[in-house]
Amino acid sequence: MKMGKITVDPNCRIKFNNNVDYCVGTGRLGLALTEEYLKELEFVQKMIGFSYIRGHGLFSDDVSIYHEYEENGETKVEYNYTYIDRIIDSYLKLGIRPYLELGFMPGQLASGTQTIFYWKGNTTPPKDYKKWTDMVIALLVHLKKRYGEEVTSWPIEVWNEPNLPGFWYKADMEEYFKLFKETFLAIKEYDSRFKVGGPAICGVNDAVWIKAFLSFCKREGLRPDRITRHHYTVEFPERIGHYDYSKLEDSEMRFANLKSTRDIVDSYDEFKGLPIHLTEFSTSYTPKGVIHDTNINAAYLARQLSRLGDDNEAYSYWTFGDVFEEQGVPDSLFHGGFGMVAAGNIPKPTFWTFYFYKQLKLFSDECVYRDDNAVIVKKDNGYSGILWNIDEEDEIRELLMEVTDSSDYTLITKTVDENCCNPLKLWHDIGEPAYPTHAETELIKSAAWPLTESTVISAKDGVVSSQITVNRNGVVYFTLTKRQLTSDRGYDYDKVVSYH
């Protein structure tokens, strides 16, 4: 057991950009036409409430926007917005708006046949850039007409991971730069209020791509509204059967990688201070990464969320739910899916990490303490914080928090760890049913909620001391607030609980 002590200075102020609820990822947009998808999103929105949602496939054939036809020997184009309207209507009903990722390529507009994923998103450049930009602008015109001027505030990102050959034919850098330039200029000419970002890279040669992209923009006189990139934190996985097993990378190394992007952007006078959006982040980058379902994932991401805002304006977790088909329809309930929520609206431990950070944001934005294992905020009547334990050598961490005060306080803790909030273990213990019955789903869900505990703490010698236990791979959310007792006439709690 490792003991630790936190002394809170109420006058201390620490920079802390807690933008946890700005955006969340989703599988291809076409999945928003399914019932289970919308149920999971409704649950996530009710409990957390993200502002934006980003997913692939806006222009893929299953959404069916772009169509060519022959008339009088001439090839003509028409657009169909039936599905995208239905999708965005559903989003708005749930209080979330699209972060418009422009991709992939409609089959009839594509220059080649290369596709990615089970659902065959085409990842080749357009055969005609004018038809591409016409399609983009026609969509924005339609969206503005249908949803009003607020559409101009919806973020736009040009393509997804063009530095990977599977996502952009041959990872052709110059061809991507052409796509960005043509798209950026067309959008800005239509309505300069739209905010357009790129290059949406992931992993491979990230520094080379960021530098080349910024140099290209400088040379061409372009000023993107933000720089976008992705952030995953595991080594190359081992595939066994249907599943991917990965080792987590060192947190400091991953934060340093993010800082390097900030430094590159700021090294250009033209782009210094330009916002950076992590339009995808998670631990494993595969939809069968078994770590996603675990408590260690929740604890590791607690540390990530405490610092992602240091160099990035926004960061979007990939993804909100397990309705996802990149490598096919999931084979089992717990299959390592990206989602923070499993089928049947079973919240995974990671869901609570995000929920806790949202509660922290609602409590206060005045950060008074932050280290590698804790973040604490303050308001007039007390404190709120998140503690986590991802040190593999320590089974239990005891933290003593001291506040100078003479009042009585109420300490409330919500604990997520392998002992008290571990639906994966219950699923395993009952035999790992791939397709659980309704009764089994409800049983598993009953093991997916934090343990809530409370106690009253009285000051001793002008100091309020609260001791909080964080078990291995645990995340604890707490509030320590001044207590006001307002008992009704004749009510004696001590007598009630000792009555025989």
Q: Is 57 exposed, middle or buried (0-12, 13-18, 19+ CB in 10 A)?
A: buried
Which is nearest to 209 in space by CA: 259, 265, 150? Answer: 265
Query: Which 3 state secondary structure label does DSSP give 463?
Result: strand
Q: What percent of the chain has pLDDT over 70?
A: 98
For residue 451, what pLDDT band results from cuts at 50, 70 and 90?
A: very high
Cβ atoms 483, 408 nearer than 8 A = yes
Cβ atoms 279, 200 nearer than 8 A = yes
> Catalytic amino acids?
161
Can you tell me the distance from the alpha carbon of 170 to that of 165, in angstroms, rounded to the nearest whole number?
Answer: 5
**Is the model's pLDDT at 54 over the cut of 80?**
yes
What is the signed CA dihedral for 323, 329, 334, 336, rounded to 10 degrees?
-90
Rounded average pLDDT over 70-87: 96
- For the segment 18-35, what is each residue's pLDDT rounded down to a tens digit? 999 999 999 999 999 999
Cβ atoms 271, 327 nearer than 8 A = no
Can you tell me the distance from the alpha carbon of 160 to that of 56, in angstroms, rounded to the nearest whole number?
Answer: 8
Flag the least confident range among 89-103, 126-140, 356-370, 391-405.
391-405
Q: Is 269 exposed, middle or buried (0-12, 13-18, 19+ CB in 10 A)?
A: exposed
Cβ atoms 40, 24 nearer than 8 A = no
**Is the model's pLDDT at 131 over the cut of 90?**
yes
Query: In 71-115, which ranges are continuous DSSP H helix?
Result: 82-93
**Is the model's pLDDT at 96 over the cut of 80?**
yes
Q: What is the pLDDT of residue 392?
A: 61
Per-range mean pLDDT, top range of 11-15, 69-73, 126-130: 126-130
Cross-strand bridge partners of residue 482? 409
Q: What is the pLDDT of residue 500?
A: 63
Element (H, E) at 415: strand 409-416
Residues 6+ apart with CB under 8 A from 442: none
Rounded average pLDDT over 186-190: 98
Q: Which two tokens stand for residue 20?
A: 């946890």
* β-pairing verdict for 121-122 and 115-116: antiparallel
Can you tell me the distance from the alpha carbon of 319 to that of 135, in angstroms, rounded to the nearest whole number?
Answer: 27
Query: Which 3 state secondary structure label does DSSP give 196?
Result: strand
**Is the model's pLDDT at 422 over the cut of 70?**
yes
Rounded average pLDDT over 66-94: 96
Q: Which two tokens stand for residue 271?
A: 């782009």
Residue 205 φ/ψ region, left for φ over 0, alpha for ψ in the -120 to 50 degree band, beta for the rest: left
Query: Which 3 state secondary structure label does DSSP give 152?
Result: helix
Average model confidence (pLDDT) across the chain: 94
- For the segment 383-405, what is each residue's pLDDT rounded down to a tens digit? 999 999 986 666 777 777 777 77
Query: Which 3 state secondary structure label does DSSP give 245?
Result: strand
- For the segment 459-497, what is each residue's pLDDT rounded down to a tens digit? 888 888 888 889 999 999 999 999 988 899 999 998 999
Q: Which two tokens stand for residue 468?
A: 């909080």
Can you tell me the distance from the alpha carbon of 334 to that of 343, in angstroms, rounded to the nearest whole number?
Answer: 9
Cβ atoms 383, 464 nearer than 8 A = no
Element (H, E) at 409: strand 409-416
Q: Which two tokens stand for residue 149?
A: 């001027």
- For the segment 246-271, what is each residue's pLDDT rounded down to a tens digit? 999 999 999 999 999 999 999 999 99
Which is nearest to 383 in space by CA: 479, 312, 272? Answer: 479
Q: What is the pLDDT of residue 10?
A: 82
**Is the model's pLDDT at 135 over the cut of 80?**
yes
Amino acid letter for position 254: R
Question: What secondary structure, in 3-state letters, does 370-401 show?
Answer: EECCEEEEEECCEEEEEEEECCCCCCEEEEEE
Which is nearest to 29 in space by CA: 128, 115, 96, 112? Answer: 96
Residue 75: CB atoms within 10 Å:
11
All structural domains of the chain, each given as residue ranges with its CATH number in brackets, are 2-12+366-483 (2.60.40.1500), 23-363 (3.20.20.80)
Q: What is the pLDDT of residue 465?
A: 83
* pTM for the structure as a whole: 0.94
